Structure 1
Amino acid sequence: MIATTRDKMIAGAADLMSRRGVNATSMRDVVRHTATPRGSISHHFPDGKRQLIAEAVVFAGRQVSGPLEKAMNERGAIAGLKAFITSWRRHLEATGFEAGCPVLAVAVDRYVGEVSDKGDARDEAAQQHLLDLANGVFADWQQIMRAALLREGLTPARAQRLATLVVASIEGTIAMCRAARKAHPLDQVQEELETILFEALGRTTP
């Protein structure tokens, strides 16, 4: 539940970024999308759009990492992977394949400053900061997957490689599903990733 105007704007920014990208998401768009007062921008985000986008990245990362860690801890690596992919499939289908991953949007869309940004635009610094945040989110998701694989007996090096493979595969496939307007690519990737994990963990595929 989004409790405050500030939280509502952060969640709304993440949603718009997932649909439009970073630069097509303006502060004015966020205000309209969230039905919040325009004065909320300067009050809650004194550094302007770059601050809002940065906080939206952190928010989006936590929205995934919380359920992902819970699934991995309670169900194990393979069942946790299924739950992870199922959540993305539901997200894609619920939005008519219009919304992808806002963290990926930050990674591929170069930031351009707005008038609302305080001081000079500092686009280069803002861009690097956003990339660092996105990289941190991806690393967090990989670490959750890695920890689950370590608990099931894999070596640290293999667990890290497979965790990277899982996150990279799903992120890339989300973009493919949006382009295809269907979940078939995600179904194919899920089947292959599960096969790889079963083999890595020395189990027989069902």
Structure 2
Amino acid sequence: MLASAVTLFRERGVDATSFADVITRSQAPRGSIYHHFPGGKTQLAEEATLLAGRLMGSMIAANLEERGPGETLKAIVDLFRRQLLDSDFDASCPVAAAALAGGDFDAARTVAGAAFTAWESDIAAELERRGLAPDRAESVATTAIATVEGAIMVAKAQRDVRALDRAGTEVVRWIDAALAEVA
């Protein structure tokens, strides 16, 4: 059910996704959703956002270790580019969807903020390990995540990946330039 909720949040947003939608998508028995999420949709949104944030965090950590920060951001851009194109621009970042959710979803927004912070911290730590000063590493990492997340929304709204492609190219250049300063 959580995976189905993540997919639906990615496609519709948190506010527009109902328990009935999650039950239909997951093919779970109707009563099971109330058993697993006695806190209702707010609990579902919080737990699905936590899952989505951790999945992206794992992808970031694996890519940082294997490929470095620039290629990690490129991998994130490529992932969302494929999702946007494959879904005819319906799908985007489920963590961003939670961040933009309405008033009843404070816990999901808090989890989304923590996910963004964790991603930034992992990227900043790798940039620091490669020689950037801590403040500079944090600034580059925050700018990279914020730029990519914003570009995903622009690409979705424009129904064109051009903004995401351009943002991805520039983010990789920023990272490479920052690392070249300390090489």
TM-score (normalised: structure 2): 0.93
**Alpha-carbon distance between aligned partners in 2 of 1:175 and 1:136, rounded to the nearest angstrom:** 19
RMSD: 1.3
Runs of 4+ in 1 over 2 A off after TM superposition: none
Q: Partner of 2:34 in structure 1?
A: 42
Q: Partner of 2:67 in structure 1?
A: 75
Asked if 1:150 corresponds to 2:128, the answer is yes
Q: Quick one: which of 105, 115, 119 aligns to 1:137?
A: 115
Q: Quick one: which of 179, 188, 193 aligns to 2:166?
A: 188
Asked if 1:32 corresponds to 2:24, the answer is yes
Q: Quick one: which of 169, 178, 187 aligns to 2:156?
A: 178
Q: How many equivalent pairs are there? A: 181
Q: Partner of 2:84 in structure 1?
A: 92
Contact 2:124-2:137 within 8 A present in 1 as well: yes
**Alpha-carbon distance between aligned partners in 2 of 1:78 and 1:17, rounded to the nearest angstrom:** 28
- Note the 1:46-125 alignment, pairs <5 A: 46-111=38-103, 123=104
Contact 1:72-1:81 within 8 A present in 2 as well: no
Contact 1:21-1:109 within 8 A present in 2 as well: yes
Q: Quick one: which of 137, 158, 161 aligns to 1:159?
A: 137
Which entry has the higher C-alpha Rg, 1 or 2? 1
**Alpha-carbon distance between aligned partners in 1 of 2:11 and 2:26, rounded to the nearest angstrom:** 15
Query: C-alpha offsets along residues 86-141 of structure 1, whole Å, 9 cap, x if unaligned?
Result: 12212222222111111111111214xxxxxxxxxxx4xxx332221111010011
- Runs of 5+ in structure 2 lacking a partner? none
Query: Which structure has the highest helix share of the two?
Result: 2
- Runs of 5+ in structure 1 lacking a partner? 1-8, 112-122
**Alpha-carbon distance between aligned partners in 2 of 1:170 and 1:72, rounded to the nearest angstrom:** 16
**Alpha-carbon distance between aligned partners in 2 of 1:83 and 1:24, rounded to the nearest angstrom:** 29
Q: Secondary structure at the match of 1:74?
A: helix
Q: Partner of 1:117 in structure 2?
A: none
Contact 2:2-2:44 within 8 A present in 1 as well: yes
**Alpha-carbon distance between aligned partners in 2 of 1:75 and 1:191, rounded to the nearest angstrom:** 16
Q: Quick one: which of 8, 18, 26 aligns to 1:16?
A: 8
Q: Percent same amino acid at aligned positions? A: 39
Contact 1:177-1:185 within 8 A present in 2 as well: yes
Query: C-alpha offsets along residues 10-40 of structure 1, whole Å, 9 cap, x if unaligned?
Result: 1111111111111111101111122111011
Q: Secondary structure at the match of 2:80?
A: helix
